[in-house]
Structure 1
């Protein structure tokens, strides 16, 4: 697979690519008059607009295809950095806590992007037997970046244009959504995505990630998780870290803290309630973990975020 630097240095866009990018930009600018994120009526499609750079912030990436049509974004998974822009796209095959930042955006040329969330089940029937290799010795990292190809971008542009034509969504969205994922699998890096998708149903480390993503509030012993996915605790630790760049305990803690922050920013009235709702038994331990991860105690962090532009 090409490096991000190789991809960024391949020269100007083709006329077809420029046209597709402009079509997507027009829909996003028409839909989002101000900065923010917007959930559309098109299945799984989110649109984003930011007119200033956004500093690195923790968040959870879900299984999704992410595309930048103007600007640039960076995502950190442990020590690995993934950069994507209009020449590339990013795929997340798992639920994983990351750090992300908008690294290129201005008022005159705002960051514009989209994200298509997916359920791996909807893609399995696209994978012929020749693609499926779920017996990898060590799982590959659950995030990756690849070069955007013209046919894929054209299919994405048609899908995004359904925002303007909601009456067509029931009929055309399933067809074009399937085409998009087909183009990814057939394109650069598609074999890797196919392996990850197949592994998500057969590889024990993927099963462990899916279980923790759904049960991060529960008390989960590593020994019990290893038994559940039929691995030894040491093997689970090694494979889980290869996939997520963190241990199972680190993964669960970050999922809890990110959900607690979301709750505190929405409708949960107290730190105690947020701590208990995400699985902490000790509020003082929650406060220490929260401050260590976000840099401020819960109340101060939430106040800062609410006052931020």
Structure 2
């Protein structure tokens, strides 16, 4: 079994290498599937992990959510079962052996469809569980992943078979050791699902003040219960969650629009540019102007590499 797992891992790595060729994130012909290739970039990256299944075929990656860290390499898979602001860093890569990753986005409808077709117990344990987890890849899940990736070599089969193979992958994840965590976040009537509703409200209104009482009401919880369950799912408080969304969007705006820091501070909901600069420096390690200079220099280096 170990030999077959290694063979699958090698096949997945070859496929990612073949369908990327250059560094970056590459969308494939399967709409929900992307590949990642990084050979030199070990910097921290900031973004929102959407609900997805992530697999490393080569190299090692570390993802931080709040104060919690998730490390995964070949033979592991990571699932983000709810959208989470996170910091990621590739810690093992080189030009000779680049980091190669697989990302399959998962929709609520797809998960619910699998749950409706399969014979899963309707009973879920109390508690929400962390919205991100890492597990070991078993042979069954790896088989399903490799079959999905092989469709890229027969594009004419993708419209018919990709939805079926994706459902198989989701089924295998739901059958895994953390499958209940994923189920809780799509099935109505439990605390995890109610927290998901509050997360959506914060994401939609990240640039506006939101009272915790409003979030708790959205989740149909008392304020104290809401705080406890929110931190259980996201590893951070609602205020920290919203702040990360604000600062990540501010960084994106500064880089993509070349707008000044004061304007961006107001656009993402800060009333004080000095507070924005302090919190930006605390999160990204540099004040906005210096950070943008570094990012643009590295962007030029990548383009010229």
Superposition TM-score, scaled by structure 1 size: 0.87
Separation (CA, whole Å) in 2 of partners of 1:98 and 1:79: 10
Equivalence for 1:70:
58
2:25 is aligned with 1:37: yes
Aligned-residue CA RMSD in angstroms? Answer: 2.3
Partner of 1:107: 95
1:226 matched to 2:216: yes
Contact 1:43-1:173 at 8 Å conserved across structures? no
Q: 1:164 to 1:283 in 2, by over 3 A?
A: farther
Which residue matches 2:265?
Answer: 275
Distance 1:225 1:171, change over 3 A: same
Q: How far is 1:200 from its partner?
A: 9.0
**Matching residue within 210, 215, 225 for 2:205:** 215
Q: 2:4 maps to what in 1? A: 16
Change (3 A) 1:233 1:21: same
Shift of 1:177: 0.6
Bigger shift: residues 38-47 or 244-253: 38-47
* Residue in 2 that maps onto 1:61: 49
Q: Match of 2:270, SS?
A: coil
State the number of aligned residues. Answer: 296
Correspondence for 2:172 among 167, 170, 183 = 183
In structure 2, the partner of 1:168 is 157
Pick from 235, 246, 257: which aligns with 2:225? 235
CA distance in 1, matches of 2:257, 2:11: 37
Structure 1, unmatched stretches of 5+, are 1-12
Q: Using the TM superposition, give the Cα deviation of residue 295 of structure 1 relative to its aligned residue in structure 2, in angstroms.
A: 1.6
Can you list the C-alpha shifts for 1:51-84, whole angstroms capped at 9, x where unaligned? 1361333322111100000111111223322111
The CA deviation at 1:284 is: 3.1
For residues 28-56 of structure 1, the C-alpha deviation after alignment (integer angstroms, 9 at most, x for no partner) is 21222222111223122111111136133
- Quote how far apart the aligned CAs of 1:268 are: 4.8
Decide whether aligned partners of structure 1 residues 163 and 303 sit closer, same or farther in structure 2, where only a CA change above 3 A counts: farther
Equivalent residues of 2:184, 2:190 under 8 A apart: no
Aligned 8 A contact 2:30 2:152 in 1: yes
Residue of 99, 120, 144 corresponding to 1:155: 144
Question: Which deviates the most, 208-217 or 114-123?
Answer: 208-217
The 3-state SS of whatever aligns with 1:124 is helix
1:36–1:48 CA contact under 8 A, matched in 2:
yes
**In 2: Cα distance, 1:165 partner to 1:219 partner:** 50
1:30 counterpart SS class = helix
The answer to whether the 8 A contact 1:237-1:248 is kept is: yes
Counterpart contact for 2:141–2:173, Cα < 8 Å: yes
Asked if 1 retains the 8 angstrom alpha-carbon contact of 2:60 and 2:91, the reply is yes
